[in-house]
Amino acid sequence: MKIIICLPKGRNLKESLFFLLKKNLKLNKNKNRKLYINTNKKNIYVLIIKNNDFKIYKKNNFLDFIFLGSDMILNYYLNFFYNYKYLKINTFFISIISNSSYINNLKSLKFYTKYKKILKNYLNFKNIKHKIYNMQGSVENSCILKSSNLILDISESGSTIKENKIIEIKKISVFNNYLIYNINILYIKIFTYLEIIYVKNKHK
C-alpha cells in the first residue's frame, strides 16, 4: 500500500517539509531526481508538484494527502468532499497593492493578478467597476515598473512592498494552509491491502 503526500512548490514548501519533520517524517536524499521521493517511513512517498498541477492529481485521484493554501482553494472554486485539517503554518494575506496612493480613474479600475476569481468576487461585492487581467509569475514587477497601477497579490511580511516603495491599499482576506485528504481513496487502499494480506493469502 503506497501513501502519497503532495507538496506544491512555492512559499509554503519549506514550512510543509518542516511540519512533516516534526511529525517524524523525513525525506530521503533524492539523487536521481525521481518523481516520488522516498521517506524514512515504509510505503510513504512525497511528490513535489507545480502549484497548478494539483488540479490534475486531484481529478484523477493520484494523491492521498496534499498541503494547500486557502488562496488556491478559493481561486479555483474547489468544491470537493475531502476531509481537511487546519495547519498553523505560514498565515498570509492577499492584498490590493498600488504604485500610487492616488488612482486617477476610479470609475473603471484595471488590475493584474493571478487570483482573478477571488478579486472578481470581492470587487463585485463592493460594486466596483473593474477590468482584470491575468498575470502569472512576479505580479509585483508590473506595479514596480508601472505597467499597471493596481495588482492583487500575496503579502506576508510586507518587506517587498516597503523595499520597492509600493503601497498596500487593502488587505482583503487572511489565508491559511490546510492538509487535505481523500478519505475514500484511503479506505479503498486500506481494504485492498487487507484483502491481499488476509483473503488472497489465505487461499494459497
Give the pLDDT confidence score for residue 32 in this predicted structure: 61
Cβ neighbours for 162, distance < 8 A, ≥ 6 positions apart:
none
Query: Greater confidence, 44 or 187?
Result: 44
Give the pLDDT confidence score for residue 14 in this predicted structure: 84
Same domain for 96 and 70: no
Give the pLDDT confidence score for residue 109 in this predicted structure: 80
Contact 18, 28 (CB under 8 A): no
Same domain for 62 and 163: no
Same domain for 11 and 87: yes
Q: State the SS3 of the chain.
A: CCEEEEEECCCCHHHHHHHHHHCCCCECCCCCCCCCEEECCCCEEEEEECHHHHHHHHHCCCCCEEEEEHHHHHHCCCCCCCEEEEEEEEEEEEEEEECCCCCCCCCCEEEEECCHHHHHHHHHHCCCCEEEEECCCCCHHHHHCCCCCEEEEEECCCHHHHHCCCEEEEEEEEEEEEEEECHHHHHHHHHHHHHHHHHHHHHC
Same domain for 168 and 183: no
Query: Per DSSP, what are the bridge partners of residue 85?
Result: 179
pTM score, whole prediction: 0.69
Same domain for 167 and 69: no
Give the pLDDT confidence score for residue 101 in this predicted structure: 57
Same domain for 116 and 185: no
- Judged against a pLDDT cut of 60, whether residue 99 lies above it is answered with yes
Q: How many folded domains does the chain comprise? A: 2
Q: State the average pLDDT for the chain.
A: 77
- Judged against a pLDDT cut of 80, whether residue 83 lies above it is answered with no
Strands of 130-134's sheet, edge to edge? 37-38, 44-49, 3-8, 65-69, 167-181, 83-98, 150-155, 109-113, 130-134
Give the pLDDT confidence score for residue 77 in this predicted structure: 56
The three cell numbers of residue 24 are 517524524
Domain residues for 44?
Answer: 3-91+177-203
Same domain for 56 and 14: yes
Give the pLDDT confidence score for residue 192 in this predicted structure: 64
Same domain for 182 and 193: yes
Same domain for 153 and 199: no
Same domain for 162 and 113: yes
Same domain for 148 and 191: no
Query: Greater confidence, 189 or 52?
Result: 52
Give the pLDDT confidence score for residue 190 in this predicted structure: 63
pLDDT, mean of residues 57-86: 72
d(CA 198, CA 203): 9
- The CATH number that applies at residue 46 is 3.40.190.10
Same domain for 105 and 48: no
pLDDT single digits (tens) 6-17:
888 877 788 888
pLDDT single digits (tens) 127-173:
888 888 888 777 777 777 777 778 888 877 667 777 778 888 888 88
pLDDT, mean of residues 193-201: 57
